Structure 1
């Protein structure tokens, strides 16, 4: 007989810092390719750290421009847990002077689907070299699980760049290539900070609140703390460690997760690191049931493996729960984790498994890196020979000796495995902030060995200026109109509406002025202030900005030390948005301050903070935004309360609503009924939703009266207090939670295309009328309780194609369907908001009036 199982154990991530073989040649020349090369002597095979072969490095052809994408590609021949990247420039025995100051990474596990790496704060950029000879080491947080890697140099000006590299990590013995699960949710408990428990680093797809085809925080090496609402020491926000789900929001009472692997494996156990803070309604799972699939294309096997945990109401410590998988052979698992309390939260999931010896016989399964030890049992019982005179007694003795030796080896293996499992149980799956133990350069005295600070963002183009589609026929709006001459005159004329461009035209409503001589909106001098989140709350006509910013800042200066950090709401190109407590704010502002009832609790505020090293243009825009915000005064618009501008970093302090944003509020509720009352299920009534709609229309009516264009109206940008009062804000774009709501056009813009009017996508026109379109989509969100994304059955590319059908106006465009809860009169109002011709859309004055009538 043959024992055909080899146990594979994944090393702790803190040990996964071995050089993968660029410097010593274990990564072969054939596995190093590039998009281009300057000469044969600067080809990709010369991109080896500390080597001076050829002309000393890989150099892409020509001088690199900021818009260029040139890359060095490495095939690591198997899945690798990649933790560190080191780079050098071209030294060439003191004759070279080319190096990359910045770079970014793309990776692929299959060689077809490429993913852009981002750090835990959303930045794609890694800072590289400042000279040609020193090695600069960058830890990757989060690490990358990949086989293929591209290093893409980034430049702010025209430069010649050259690179030498080394990678560090170890073999990804788990073999996990993807997990699919429901999207994590946000915990909003009274007295505690709002805690997002979404998988913010997931690199697969998010559709209809389902994660699929990727890996994320459950494999990033960071294990969760016991007290998950506390701020971490590594600058990560509370709740980052965990992916969590609420029981009453998942109908079946369990969380179903599917795990896919690189090849067929023999599974011994699954380890799930779970939180058990039962005082907050969080416990480990009560039980789990797993079914197996032998091949990805086969059916799930009928016989499950079930495991029941022993619940613990005494020790609140997070812990690993080991689930035995009984040596089942499979390429994929599907596990249902059953709730034991209100919340269930995981921070890491790992698998212990083996492979068949015939799989291990292939050299491709063994990486060119230092790997953990494997143990192979391949003893065979001697076969009867045909040689005459062979004693049957000697055959029997040989068999007995072999069996005894085999038993000794098995006993030793079992004892050793028990020891290793105990060690792994105690070892945290976390990349330590320790020095790299490998010497990377003999000539460098200033090599960076510690984890570097978060690099500054690369300044992107303004996210809401004119955009360009991928299809060449949409590259030029004028050419597009020539190609499709059926564009109606009313659409062209109404796009010239003066009410959106100049505040002086006040004698008519925005949609009544399109016959005036006021310049076209796109040709008028429009100020586009860049907010700290990378978005800007309003597009403001230049004359309006002038009239609003002539005076000095009149907002009170609040003592910076009284702002106590609670949670990071988001981060963008120029700064961050924080949720803070403001000590003594009510007394500071005095009577009449727009603050919610406190009942003795601290005041929660949102603090927009500009990065201290921001450009002068960003600082000027920030101060202009303060002046504009200080002049906004409406009960349904987020109001500026005070500022901290006497020293860096510049801050503006605005209202924040305790119920968070409207999208999260509604998605965690059901429509009000006797069932929800009887079972104490969070609910919302039709009347509540109508009242919310009225408030949003009221706030937008106010902005329209000032000729302000929001450009990102959606439920994620509407905040809500305990009395269901709506305040329109602009935080949505900066939050990882809503990253899937935005479509990134390479190097140009990040756009909420599912909320945008066709003329905004195709022609780059943003007006109050395009805000009306977004208002219609926001109404649709409200009356679907935000359970799905608009056009959820269409991909981003299909949404863009659908705007072309609106342009052609041949009756083939797709509209959002009527929500089941929506009154017919309100859906008719939505359809008018989505009118193809701008002149046919209602104004916010009309929308507010009709919404009020329905609300009564």
Structure 2
């Protein structure tokens, strides 16, 4: 369905992109799911990012109406691109072609005629679009009803914007003007969208099938697939990549005037004797795959369920690699709503993935499949191989010169991008400082009428990047501005500050024994891995600053590198082996290993090029870690600070992190007897949760705030011993658990309290919230990501429901093996009012009382 946009939307879309928006993509924040409602940025015709040499045409009327003048809202040359000959009705010989240099997700197009200051009056009444991903196979765009013709302009100067529904994934796009009678036409154009970071160029799958449900014909075919369709679909993309997730009721659709089942591609178990549907995904290059998200229908009352298992094979050269990976989501026979199932792909390197999805019921239906990945470091090609666009050549052109010129353009483009990134980083730092000061003021001073008017004024002048990237409705803008708009703001600030009156000073709060919630009074250490290890009260940090480090210098030559666990902006985390570590430890600490056996340790190493602030933070982190003495907190064993690179050596448990450990196990029971998968008892799970609560009880007694409590940050030793750590954020394996919100650090939003996301408040009470999620993960055996049925944007939206407190917020469901008292404890951790959440002492006591 095509629709025209309002003048305000037009002005917003034709503006050059704000640097922070560009940085969102340039800094490699890979998001595996695109949304047509968000992905609507001008791609560079009007802004100049698309170079002249990347714009070509079938012909031109004169040099002054060449293809390079076909830029929206530009008046250079004679004011537009004009073909050499008059366009005839239904003629598709003339076209204006744009090369985007890489695959893009294109959701919107804009067109304009030739005005040229009043001397021109040529425009295209209609046009068609063709696109290509490789420069050789061209595809005609059709809307969801199969219509190809797009209504164009009615005069020479107005900009007409049209949504592409469905959107297209392409590198090359051609605008082909049409008329209903012979006339001269000229065009200026723009494309809107964002880079296609999935890198998926095609998927091959069986054709969707036809269902008859209670006399209703439901067509579950991929109606917008742009490849070849026979008994199967090959070499194309379609509804599984159009950014539109299906509704809970598969007979309904987001799109009007379409048939039942339109949103889904579905298959019947009876048509597949092997009980599985195989889909092959081809990518633009070798990539490092983190996760796959599959949006599934789960209307089990109608014999539709999500897949019970998926087995994925990877190919990086010619053959499929063995062994494949297998994943079994937790089946849900209670909630019939559709949901995203997140499948971990464990950082496999491949340019093709073949997945076999096994039926759990009569029907299986998918509406979206997306991937999160990083391009392989050794493959830095800027465009897919063998995808140079067909270009018209003139006599005397030198092909060799063209190749050299292309390489020069690439080099210049890289240099410009680097400069742009540096400038954008400076802008982000300045913006964050301003935003932080605004938060501090909001936490220190009561609001009055003057401040309210000032805030309103600034809102009108501001073009919020948060609002543009995540348009979640009028209530979801930049968090600090969102809160100030709402009438219950004062009440929320009082609750967050732990007071029922006007905000009190930090000293007053401390005297009353209430932790002060203002982030201004917290020292946030950057951490070697780019995370905040612990948020430490400023008073505590002052006390620590005058003390020496109580850890010995360790000879770095005794460290034997095993593997890199992760990395961040300022350093790396390595898994190392050490012999004779016991000789360097004090009497208070002992290893639960044979003294003659080497010990595994985690080594945080600061990069030599780290700045002064990072170096100071690293030394402060050592100072803090050296003071933490608890059996359930990772212990600092030694340091290497006499020479660069600076290192801190901490415990590493032999069974790795809790997330990976539990995901390899099944709960003990009858079904587990039929499997070779190792099992774990509920009593063991309960004991591990109790240990986590004990460690957090210790941290909270020091008023330390962890900020990233999750199973990925808990290590497992012998006999289910648990120790809380902090470097899960640095691991690529868990990149899908973190989310970037406009210039702020990446945040684990699925574990965060609503006040942490919306107000920026990180407190012991927010750690309690995260503990509730961690407890849920543990009893789910980490088979599913929290809120897996929600997208990241929907998770943020759900926090708004907690804020409004109208009983519409969603909670994590009760795990199958979770007793009622333990689920009640979880729910208490997620109470809206932070003061009503239990303390870690209470949590620990409750878990002890409920011990099996």
In structure 2, C-alpha distance between the alignment counterparts of 1:804 and 1:751, rounded to whole Å = 17
1:45 aligns with 2:52: yes
In structure 2, C-alpha distance between the alignment counterparts of 1:333 and 1:735, rounded to whole Å = 25
Contact 2:560–2:577 (CA<8 Å) still a contact in 1? yes
- C-alpha displacement of 1:746: 3.7
**Aligned residue number for residue 288 of structure 1:** none
Quickly say closer, same or farther: Cα 1:727–1:846, change in 2 above 3 A.
Answer: same
- C-alpha displacement of 1:81: 11
Quickly say closer, same or farther: Cα 1:823–1:442, change in 2 above 3 A.
Answer: closer
**Aligned residue number for residue 102 of structure 1:** none
In structure 2, C-alpha distance between the alignment counterparts of 1:661 and 1:853, rounded to whole Å = 27
In structure 2, C-alpha distance between the alignment counterparts of 1:72 and 1:622, rounded to whole Å = 46
Q: How does 1:564-643 map to 2 (within 5 A)?
A: 564-589=560-585, 591-598=587-594, 600-643=596-639
In structure 1, C-alpha distance between the alignment counterparts of 2:642 and 2:389, rounded to whole Å = 54
In structure 1, C-alpha distance between the alignment counterparts of 2:653 and 2:511, rounded to whole Å = 36
**Aligned residue number for residue 714 of structure 1:** 710
Quickly say closer, same or farther: Cα 1:46–1:810, change in 2 above 3 A.
Answer: same
CA deviation profile, 1:484-508 (whole Å, cap 9, x unmatched):
3245847624534799997997776
**Aligned residue number for residue 704 of structure 1:** 700
In structure 1, C-alpha distance between the alignment counterparts of 2:829 and 2:407, rounded to whole Å = 66
Quickly say closer, same or farther: Cα 1:37–1:551, change in 2 above 3 A.
Answer: same
**Aligned residue number for residue 683 of structure 1:** 679
CA deviation profile, 1:173-198 (whole Å, cap 9, x unmatched):
x95769999xxxxxxxxxxxxxxxxx
Contact 1:558–1:642 (CA<8 Å) still a contact in 2? yes
| SS across alignment from 1:743 | coil
Quickly say closer, same or farther: Cα 1:504–1:668, change in 2 above 3 A.
Answer: farther
- C-alpha displacement of 1:522: 2.2
In structure 2, C-alpha distance between the alignment counterparts of 1:73 and 1:443, rounded to whole Å = 16
Contact 1:661–1:717 (CA<8 Å) still a contact in 2? yes
Contact 1:33–1:72 (CA<8 Å) still a contact in 2? no
Residue 79 of structure 1: which of 123, 133, 138 is its match?
A: 133
In structure 2, C-alpha distance between the alignment counterparts of 1:627 and 1:212, rounded to whole Å = 54
Quickly say closer, same or farther: Cα 1:145–1:43, change in 2 above 3 A.
Answer: closer
CA deviation profile, 1:676-734 (whole Å, cap 9, x unmatched):
35755311111111111111111111111111111111111111112211111112211
**Aligned residue number for residue 786 of structure 2:** 790
1:836 aligns with 2:832: yes
In structure 2, C-alpha distance between the alignment counterparts of 1:712 and 1:284, rounded to whole Å = 28
Q: What is the alpha-carbon root mean square deviation over aligned residues? A: 5.7
Q: How does 1:368-383 map to 2 (within 5 A)?
A: 368=388
| SS across alignment from 2:536 | strand
In structure 1, C-alpha distance between the alignment counterparts of 2:627 and 2:840, rounded to whole Å = 20
Contact 1:474–1:762 (CA<8 Å) still a contact in 2? no
Aligned residues: 529
| SS across alignment from 2:850 | helix
1:803 aligns with 2:799: yes
Contact 1:80–1:145 (CA<8 Å) still a contact in 2? no
Residue 485 of structure 1: which of 484, 487, 494 is its match?
A: 487
Contact 1:179–1:214 (CA<8 Å) still a contact in 2? no
TM-score in terms of structure 1 length = 0.52
**Aligned residue number for residue 772 of structure 1:** 768
CA deviation profile, 1:359-402 (whole Å, cap 9, x unmatched):
xxxxxx9964699xxxxxxxxxxxxxxxxxxxxxxxxxxxxxxx
Quickly say closer, same or farther: Cα 1:443–1:526, change in 2 above 3 A.
Answer: closer
**Aligned residue number for residue 215 of structure 2:** none
| SS across alignment from 1:34 | coil
Contact 1:491–1:838 (CA<8 Å) still a contact in 2? no
Gapped regions of structure 1 (runs ≥ 5): 1-31, 62-70, 83-106, 119-142, 147-173, 182-209, 223-235, 244-250, 260-268, 277-281, 286-319, 323-331, 338-364, 372-435, 449-453, 515-519
CA deviation profile, 1:776-829 (whole Å, cap 9, x unmatched):
111111111111111111111111111111111111111112111111111111
Quickly say closer, same or farther: Cα 1:576–1:599, change in 2 above 3 A.
Answer: same
Greater percentage in helix: 2
In structure 1, C-alpha distance between the alignment counterparts of 2:519 and 2:767, rounded to whole Å = 19
Quickly say closer, same or farther: Cα 1:798–1:476, change in 2 above 3 A.
Answer: closer
- C-alpha displacement of 1:580: 1.1
**Aligned residue number for residue 273 of structure 1:** 319
| SS across alignment from 1:576 | strand
In structure 2, C-alpha distance between the alignment counterparts of 1:607 and 1:215, rounded to whole Å = 38
**Aligned residue number for residue 34 of structure 1:** 44
Q: How does 1:168-207 map to 2 (within 5 A)?
A: 175=235
1:649 aligns with 2:645: yes
Quickly say closer, same or farther: Cα 1:180–1:706, change in 2 above 3 A.
Answer: farther
**Aligned residue number for residue 743 of structure 2:** 747
Quickly say closer, same or farther: Cα 1:641–1:486, change in 2 above 3 A.
Answer: same
In structure 1, C-alpha distance between the alignment counterparts of 2:494 and 2:406, rounded to whole Å = 67
**Aligned residue number for residue 289 of structure 1:** none
Residue 813 of structure 2: which of 789, 794, 817 is its match?
A: 817
CA deviation profile, 1:262-286 (whole Å, cap 9, x unmatched):
xxxxxxx99863556xxxxx5999x
**Aligned residue number for residue 523 of structure 2:** 527
In structure 2, C-alpha distance between the alignment counterparts of 1:500 and 1:689, rounded to whole Å = 41
Contact 1:491–1:839 (CA<8 Å) still a contact in 2? no
In structure 2, C-alpha distance between the alignment counterparts of 1:47 and 1:523, rounded to whole Å = 49
Q: How does 1:194-343 map to 2 (within 5 A)?
A: 220-221=285-286, 256=311, 273-274=319-320
Gapped regions of structure 2 (runs ≥ 5): 1-41, 56-62, 74-97, 104-130, 137-167, 172-190, 203-233, 242-275, 293-305, 327-349, 359-384, 392-399, 413-417, 440-464
In structure 2, C-alpha distance between the alignment counterparts of 1:503 and 1:212, rounded to whole Å = 63
Quickly say closer, same or farther: Cα 1:750–1:254, change in 2 above 3 A.
Answer: closer
Contact 2:549–2:622 (CA<8 Å) still a contact in 1? yes
Contact 1:773–1:833 (CA<8 Å) still a contact in 2? yes
In structure 2, C-alpha distance between the alignment counterparts of 1:548 and 1:271, rounded to whole Å = 55
- C-alpha displacement of 1:673: 2.4
